[in-house]
Amino acid sequence: QVQLQESGPGLVKPSETLSLTCTVSGGSISNYYWTWIRQPPGKGLEWIGYIYYTGSTNYNPSLKSRVTISVDKSKNQFSLNLNSVTAADTAVYYCARLVGASWAFDLWGQGTMVTVSS
Amino acid sequence: EFVLTQSPATLSLSPGERATLTCRASQSVNSYFAWYQQKPGQAPRLLIYDASKRATGIPARFSGSGSGTDFTLTISSLEPEDFAVYYCQQRSHWLTYTFGQGTKLEIK
């Protein structure tokens, strides 16, 4: 079955760029939307943005100026870059699949904790 | 700003009881409405999509209803594994996604 796995540094310094990759295994990245969602410790979920396999994107307006999501179909991966990070960006970051028919997130990675600290 | 407000924040019930969780949108929304369950240390799991359709593998004791601004998740008879945090989620007209703040369902 299709599985998602996040990877990337667990510690990022303030003002630097947070970079994460999600690898899709057991299925193709084509014909779906792929998204990033984060959850600060002890808090709720925040949608960051999505990318369609063709490369079109849509971002949370509150993060839009700092976010870039890209896709690499040859590697069956998509990535998140969040620049100018602060402690407020400390969170568990999840990648997830967004189903176009229902606009719900039906598959999730296990999540990766990213801490912003010097 | 589009906001989803869940109530109650915490719900204390016993196994076998019926749970009713609600989510209210700040403005009328379409039917692209979902519910998720999250257990400690785990990723959320999709329970309900399109307001009332159960996702694959979700037991029949979970049901969703609602339209407009008011949506409900009902668990007909609580099992021990149902105690978790539940989130509602909506796609806005501007193709952005919002989650409610969550309802913690705890054992009484």
Query: To probe the interface with B, which of A102, A107, A110 has the most B CB atoms within 10 Å?
Result: A102
List CB contacts (< 8 A) between B2 and chain A. Answer: none
Distance from CA of A54 to the nearest CA of B (A): 17
DSSP characters over A33-96: EEEEEEE-TTS--EEEEEEETTS-EEE-TTTGGGEEEEEEGGGTEEEEEE-S--GGG-EEEEEE
Q: How far is CA A79 from CA A22, A95, A101, A109, B65, in A?
A: 6, 9, 23, 13, 35
| Model confidence pLDDT, tens digit, residues A48-59 | 999 999 999 999
Give the distance from residue A14's alpha carbon to the nearest chain B alpha carbon, in angstroms: 26
Q: What percent of chain B has pLDDT over 90?
A: 85
Cα A92-A80-B41 angle, rounded to 5 deg: 15
Asked if B49 and A99 come within 8 Å (Cβ–Cβ), the reply is yes
Q: Using the beta-carbon criterion (under 8 Å), do B49 and A104 form an inter-chain contact?
A: yes
pLDDT band at A32 (very low <50, low <70, confident <90, very high): very high
Mean pLDDT of the A15-26 span:
98
Query: CA B53, CA B11: separation in Å to the nearest integer?
Result: 23
Q: Which chain B residue lies closest to A113 (C-alpha atoms)?
A: B41
Task: Give the chain A residue whose CA is nearest to the CA of B36.
Answer: A105
β A11-12/A112-116 pair status: parallel
